[in-house]
Structure 1
Amino acid sequence: MKKFCVAAMALCMMLSCAQKQQQKEEAAAPATTLSGLNPADFTSEVDGKPVALYVLKNAKGAEACITNWGGRWVSMMVPDKNGKMTDVVLGYDKLQDYISSTGNFGALIGRYGNRIANGKFTLDGVEYTLPQNDKTNCLHGGPNGFDRQIWDAKQLSDNSVELTYVSKDGEAGFPGNLNVKVVYTLTDDNAMDIKYEATTDKKTVVNLTNHSYFNLSGVAGSTILDHQLSINADNYTPVDTLFIPTGIAPVEGTPMDLREPVTIGDRINGDFEQLVKAGGYDHNWVLNTKGDINQVAATVVAPTSGIQMQVYTNEPGLQVYCGNMMAEKENGKHGVVYPRRGAICLESQHYPDTPNHPDFPSVVLEPGQTYKSECIYKFSVK
Structure 2
Amino acid sequence: MSGADFPLLLDAARFAREIDGKPVRLFTLSNRSGMVVCVTNYGAKIEQLLVPDREGRFDDVVLGYDSIEGVVGGSPSVGAFVGRYAGRIENARFKLGGQEHQLAANNGPHCLHGGLRGSRFQVFDAVQHNPSSVEMRYVFADGEEGFPGTLALNLTYSVTDENELVLDYEAVALDAPTVANFTTHAFFNLEGLNSTKSNSALGHEVMINASRYFGMTPELIATGELLPVQGTPFDFRQPAVLDTRVHSPQAAGGVLGYDDCFAIDRSTAGELALCARVRAPAGGRVMEVWSTEPTMQFYTGMVAGEALAGGPGKGGRRYVQQQSLCFEPQGYPNAPNIAAFPSAVHAPGQGRQGRTLYRFSTS
TM beyond 0.5:
yes
Q: Is residue 232 of structure 2 the alignment partner of residue 259 of structure 1?
A: no
**Structure-2 change in CA distance of 1:133 and 1:270 (3 Å):** farther
CA distance in 1, matches of 2:305, 2:335: 29
Q: How far off its partner does 1:295 sit?
A: 3.0
Q: Deviations over 1:189-232 (max 9, x none)?
A: 11110011111121111001111100001225421100000011
Q: Is residue 123 of structure 2 the alignment partner of residue 150 of structure 1?
A: yes
Q: How far off its partner does 1:63 sit?
A: 0.5
Q: Is residue 204 of structure 2 the alignment partner of residue 223 of structure 1?
A: no
Q: How far off its partner does 1:136 sit?
A: 1.2
CA distance in 1, matches of 2:191, 2:202: 10
**Structure-2 change in CA distance of 1:280 and 1:231 (3 Å):** same
Q: How far off its partner does 1:324 sit?
A: 2.5
**Structure-2 change in CA distance of 1:325 and 1:257 (3 Å):** same
Q: Is residue 182 of structure 2 the alignment partner of residue 204 of structure 1?
A: no
Residue of 317, 322, 329 corresponding to 1:336 = 317
Q: Deviations over 1:223-275 (max 9, x none)?
A: 11000000111100021111012211000011111000000111124549x97
Q: Contact 2:48/2:60 (CA < 8 Å) preserved in 1?
A: yes
Q: Contact 1:275/1:281 (CA < 8 Å) preserved in 2?
A: no
Pick the structure with more helix per residue.
Answer: 1
Q: Contact 1:232/1:298 (CA < 8 Å) preserved in 2?
A: yes
CA distance in 1, matches of 2:148, 2:256: 34
Residue of 87, 112, 130 corresponding to 1:139 = 112
Residues 235-246 of structure 1: pairs in structure 2 closer than 5 A: 235-246=212-223
CA distance in 2, matches of 1:293, 1:158: 28
Q: How far off its partner does 1:61 sit?
A: 1.2
Residues 53-62 or 319-328, more deviating = 319-328
Q: Contact 1:255/1:267 (CA < 8 Å) preserved in 2?
A: yes
Residues 182-191 or 212-221, more deviating = 212-221
Identity %: 39
CA distance in 1, matches of 2:184, 2:289: 12
Residue of 287, 301, 308 corresponding to 2:286 = 308
**Structure-2 change in CA distance of 1:168 and 1:325 (3 Å):** farther
Q: Is residue 81 of structure 2 the alignment partner of residue 104 of structure 1?
A: no
1:284 corresponds to: 261
2:3 corresponds to: none
Q: Deviations over 1:90-127 (max 9, x none)?
A: 11111101111243110010000000000011111111
CA distance in 1, matches of 2:128, 2:7: 18
Q: Contact 1:35/1:87 (CA < 8 Å) preserved in 2?
A: no
2:340 corresponds to: 359
SS at match of 2:69: helix
Residues 58-137 of structure 1: pairs in structure 2 closer than 5 A: 58-137=31-110
**Structure-2 change in CA distance of 1:139 and 1:326 (3 Å):** farther
**Structure-2 change in CA distance of 1:251 and 1:90 (3 Å):** same
Q: Which runs of 5+ in 2 are unaligned?
A: 1-5
Rg (Cα) greater in structure: 1
CA distance in 2, matches of 1:335, 1:206: 35
CA distance in 1, matches of 2:48, 2:111: 28
**Structure-2 change in CA distance of 1:189 and 1:267 (3 Å):** same
2:297 corresponds to: 319
Q: Which runs of 5+ in 1 are unaligned?
A: 1-32
CA distance in 2, matches of 1:244, 1:225: 25
CA distance in 2, matches of 1:371, 1:361: 13
Q: How far off its partner does 1:328 sit?
A: 2.5
Q: Deviations over 1:67-89 (max 9, x none)?
A: 00010011110110100011111
* Greater length-normalized contact order (CA 8 Å, ≥ 6 residues apart): 2
CA distance in 1, matches of 2:179, 2:235: 30
TM-score by length of 2: 0.92
Q: How far off its partner does 1:291 sit?
A: 3.7
TM-score by length of 1: 0.87
1:160 corresponds to: 133
SS at match of 1:367: coil
Q: How far off its partner does 1:343 sit?
A: 0.5
Residue of 51, 54, 57 corresponding to 2:24 = 51
Q: How far off its partner does 1:314 sit?
A: 0.6
Question: What count of residue pairs does the alignment treat as equivalent?
Answer: 349
Q: Contact 1:203/1:364 (CA < 8 Å) preserved in 2?
A: yes
CA distance in 1, matches of 2:345, 2:83: 14
1:8 corresponds to: none
Q: How far off its partner does 1:364 sit?
A: 1.2
Q: How far off its partner does 1:59 sit?
A: 1.3
Q: Is residue 342 of structure 2 the alignment partner of residue 368 of structure 1?
A: no
Q: Contact 1:67/1:73 (CA < 8 Å) preserved in 2?
A: yes
SS at match of 1:238: strand
CA distance in 2, matches of 1:199, 1:326: 40
